[in-house]
Amino acid sequence: MIPNKVESTDGDENEKRGNWSNQCDFFLSCLGYAVGLGNLWRFPFLCFKNGGAVFLIPYAICLLLIGMPLFLLELYLGQFSSSGTLTVWRFSPMFKGVGIGMMVTSSLIAIYYNIVMAWALYYLFASFTSKLPWQDCGDWSSDTCITKLPDISGCNATLQEVAYPNGTCYNANGTLLGVYNDTLLKQYNITRSSAAEEYFFNTVLRVGTGLDTFSDLTGISWQLSLCLLLAWIIDFFCLFRSVKSSGKVVYFTAIFPYVVLLILLIRGTMLPGSRSGVEWYIAKADVSKLKDPEVWLDAITQIFFSLGASLGGLHALSSYNKFHNNCLRDAIAVSIGNCLTSVFAGFVVFSYVGYMAELQGVDIGHVAKGGPSLAFVIWPSAVATIPVSPLWSILLFFMLITLGLDSQFTLLETVFTGLLDAFPKVRKHKVWVHLAVCLVLFGLGLPMCAKGGLHLLDYVDSAINGWPMVILGLTELIAVAWVYGAYPRYKVIFLRAIEDMKIMLADSPLLK
């Protein structure tokens, strides 16, 4: 592999591609890429699902044996070759398809990531009010919404008496409008729902809670479409000058979420039930879970998903490093920082989960859910009950937006860098290339603004996360270890890669 290095008179080693303005830009970009929405809603739920604190054991093992080595490998490949995910395979062109797979995967993730950003923008705008719209049920909610159901304390549940909106008790002989009795609700298969849940499904997504297929891609929401367009406009203006512009934005987007998480944690610990939530998160350790292969698979896939390995993003970011940058130090610091953030976010999340369980009088297991239901149902429900709720809601959703932006920057930079490296003649028109890519991906994301968009998003997410990322990462390891690293005259795998790293890290105290 030959470094693609050209000296420049403006301080950049590579005149054609450019370099990061300083090392801090690169480090914060890597940290922001690794720390994303998955740290906030996926990792805490996996801990809850897989034995509490016990899940940290397979997670830490997978981090040390798989995550950190692969993270370092991808930083090395991009930095040594000064190439993005499509052209880094010059050392073995037969593996170029891996780079194409990484770029396609990053494009698909960028599409649905911006849908989640559009949801967050929708909530952010809705929070600028004296009373949050999902604080109580409204015209948009169904008859089983909790605050629409009347008080039936005077009704006799054993006689199957139910209350109607006028407050009179009647025998349950057919119509069940306004039922609010757990025994009767179960008997007639009626599910109560919170105002925040119905607001998310009925107002934001406009799908209704009963839709279970993504086949209905009609009725695109113009409100969500405008929020999606705004998300792509933000992406474009933050990235149109590549790392020279995004490297400055990350100083805010990478640090601000930690400030908000700390504020939310302090407020969450003051709420009733928060201690029970935290105990569910870490104290209820189930050692028997370590025998379950699914727990280890969850740990592996979470490491890939969280660190962003095998997506090409690390190739793109490190390709703008100067040749002698200490990528070993960066790999260790970012990997550990990302995982510590996941653990810290779990304390924040479960303090509010415990509070919601206490508020609703239900078991924590009924509240602790992963995915969009955590970010757009549980947390909005929680902040709606706190004094000065609009302020907390604004902070919450602005934090989600900044978390998403960091990851989105690198996902798109992977696509931009890959295209510009593969077709260097268009580099002088890179602003137009960025605009064209954003417009295409915006158009591909519009179906997710339809009624069945949530289920289409879930389908795409489940299809590309997990095994596809593991397979791409494994193939990359084979390419470097046995094709490039074990060239015929070498007896040890990875030997050539190790020699390359020694050249780059000649001044590193870690190798002396």
The CATH architecture that domain 24-137+213-511 belongs to is: Orthogonal Bundle (1.10)
Cα–Cα distance, 29 to 253 (Å, whole number): 9
| pLDDT on residue 180 | 44
- Residue-wise pLDDT for 469-479, tens only, equals 888 988 998 88
Annotated binding-site positions for Na(+): 32, 34-35, 39, 306, 338, 403, 406-407
Cα–Cα distance, 463 to 129 (Å, whole number): 38
Contact 158, 170 (CB under 8 A): no
- pLDDT above 70 covers a percentage of the chain that reads 78
Which residue in the block uniquely carries the two structure tokens 């860098």? 417
Cα–Cα distance, 163 to 258 (Å, whole number): 47
Annotated binding-site positions: 32, 34-35, 39, 306, 338, 403, 406-407
Q: Helices 467-478 and 453-464 meet at what angle, rounded to 10?
A: 30
- Residues with Cβ within 8 Å of residue 85, at least 6 apart in sequence: 99, 102, 103, 106, 312, 315, 316, 414, 417, 418
Q: Which residue ranges make up each domain of the chain?
A: 24-137+213-511, 150-191
The per-residue pLDDT string of the chain (512 residues; one tens digit each, 9 = 90 and over) reads 544 544 444 556 767 777 887 888 888 888 888 888 778 878 887 887 787 778 889 999 999 998 999 999 999 999 998 888 888 998 888 899 999 999 999 999 999 999 999 999 999 999 999 889 988 877 877 666 765 544 444 444 443 444 433 334 444 443 333 444 455 555 555 556 678 888 888 888 887 544 445 556 667 888 999 999 999 999 998 887 666 666 678 888 888 889 988 988 898 888 888 888 888 887 767 788 888 888 888 888 888 888 888 888 899 889 888 888 898 899 999 999 998 998 898 888 888 888 878 876 667 766 666 666 667 887 888 888 888 889 999 998 999 898 888 888 889 989 988 888 888 888 888 889 899 999 999 999 999 998 888 888 888 888 887 778 888 988 998 888 888 866 555 556 667 888 888 888 876 655 55
This model's pTM is above 0.85: no
Burial class (CB in 10 A: 0-12, 13-18, 19+), 170: middle
Q: Report how far Cα 396 is from the mean position of its chain's Cα atoms.
A: 15
Cα–Cα distance, 256 to 403 (Å, whole number): 9
Q: Which alpha helices (DSSP H) does 82-221 contain, by range? A: 96-126, 182-187, 195-198
- Residues with Cβ within 8 Å of residue 96, at least 6 apart in sequence: 86, 89
Strand, helix or coil for residue 211 = coil
Cα–Cα distance, 334 to 314 (Å, whole number): 11
* Ramachandran region, residue 171 (left: φ > 0; alpha: ψ -120 to 50; beta: rest): beta
